[in-house]
Structures are given as C-alpha cells and as structure tokens.
Amino acid sequence: MMELEDNILTNSYRNLEIQDAPNCITSIYNNLSIMGGNCISCVCIPFLCCGPIKVIPQGYKGVMTEFGIFMKVLSPGRYNYNICTQEIILVSTKTKVIPISTQKIMTGDNLSVTIDAVCFFNISNVKGALFNVENYTESIENLSKTVLRTVVGENDLQSLFSDRSVINTRLSSLMVERTREWGVDNITVDIKDVSIPSDLQRVMAKTAEVKQDSMSKVIAAEGEKKAVEILSRDSTVDIKYTQIIFYTIF
C-alpha cells in the first residue's frame, strides 16, 4: 500500500515538473530579453539617446505590446521602448475612404442594377481594431458589400432613385451595429450611382413618355371642360340680360 502511494506521489511530482518546466524556461527567456533590451538602451546613452525611440505622429495612435500581449494605448508623441520585448504598432485615427467596387444587385422588384458606393469611417478604439478583427479595412469593405446587397434587395427600383437618403441611413445603421466591436466610429455608406441596363432604360423612357402623353391629354380635357362651363355660364347670363331688356322695353 505504501509503495503504491509513493508511486502515485512520484508520478504527480513528475507531472508538475513537466508542466512547470516550460514556464520556467519562458520566464528565464523573458528576463534575458528584458535585460538585453536594457543593455541596448544603456549602450545608446553615450550617444545622447535612451534606446530605441518610436515617434507617433498626429492623427495616429500607438498600441504597445510586450511579448505579444497588449499593454497600453499611446497618444501622439515620442516613446522609448524595449526593442527585445516590446513593440509599438501604429493605427491611423483619421477618416478613411473605401470605394466599394461596382456591384450588380437584384432589387426588390427583380430588376438588375449596377451600384457604385463608398464607405467612410474612422477608428476610435485602436485596441478593438487590432485585436477584435483580423484586417479591419478589408473586413469593412466586405461587410459593406454584403449590407449593400441586403438593403438594395429590400427596395424596388423607384425607391433607389426617390428615397436615396433613407437607404443610405439604413446602410449606415446596419454597419454601425455590426462593426461596434471592431473599434470603428462614424461609419457611413453612401450610394454614389445607380445604373440600369440599356434595354430597361428604353422601357422606362417609353413608359415615361406614355405617362406624360396621358397626363397632357387629361390636362387638355380638363381645360376643355372648364372652357365649356365658362361659355355656358356666359351664354346663360347673356340670355337673362336680353330677357330683362326685352321686358323692360315692352
């Protein structure tokens, strides 16, 4: 019984040693890296600098990581960092413009249209932009195309021309909901141009011509009706006036 317990304890300690060994090695390596970076900084002191320096220009923010782990967000300025253990990644906070490539989309009334759009956005949370999405620019572009197809498919062709502002607002609201965790702010998607096939253009032109022709006929008919009413009213007045004069004389 005692031998069995000793074997169990021995195996347990051996497992603990195996689990802790990589951690100890990693800790030693990390400490050596920190010391190496500090030595580089000390070597740079005689040259009137204090080691590797990163300048973050206006319009950008920096994200400092140590051993690949997020540490802090840096505002524009000049910063010293450990070249062996730390890294500073620049992220632009300026408004970016992504032209959305031409998309052929079916509208709600089953008509094919070609749409050009553009997306505007800026980064407010640089940590979310770096660590919550793989490539925020490419992801926003692909999401814009998907949302554009969804919203255009919900509207008919007439709405694309008459309710452009309403559709743009709908596009932007969907983009805001889906990119909130990506650190994106002030994102808008606007439709620049809507093109329709040439045969559909001819049909629409003919339809508009027929509609204008019918409206002109209606207007002409209403004018004739009013003219007849005016003439009949004037003739009635003339007859009554003649009767009054006749009875007055005779």
Q: Please say if the pLDDT value at position 124 is more than 70.
A: yes
Domain region containing 205: 197-250
Region 187-209: mean pLDDT is: 76
Q: Do both 136 and 175 map to the same domain?
A: yes
Count the domains in the chain: 3
Domain boundary among 77, 92, 107: 92
Q: Do both 225 and 177 map to the same domain?
A: no
Residue 135: Cβ within 10 Å count: 10
pLDDT at residue number 219 = 75
pLDDT at residue number 231 = 58
pLDDT at residue number 145 = 93
Q: Do both 188 and 203 map to the same domain?
A: no
Region at 213 (left for phi over 0; alpha for psi -120 to 50; beta for the rest): alpha
What does the pLDDT look like over 144-168, one tens digit per residue?
A: 999 999 999 988 888 888 888 899 9
Give the residue, 208 or 7, on which the prediction is more confident.
208
Domain boundary among 155, 174, 196: 196
pLDDT at residue number 242 = 53
Q: Do both 88 and 57 map to the same domain?
A: yes
What does the pLDDT look like over 18-55, one tens digit per residue?
A: 444 446 666 665 565 555 555 555 555 554 455 578 88
pLDDT at residue number 86 = 85
Q: Please say if the pLDDT value at position 209 is more than 80.
A: no
pLDDT at residue number 6 = 45
Region 107-120: mean pLDDT is: 89
Q: Do both 205 and 192 map to the same domain?
A: no
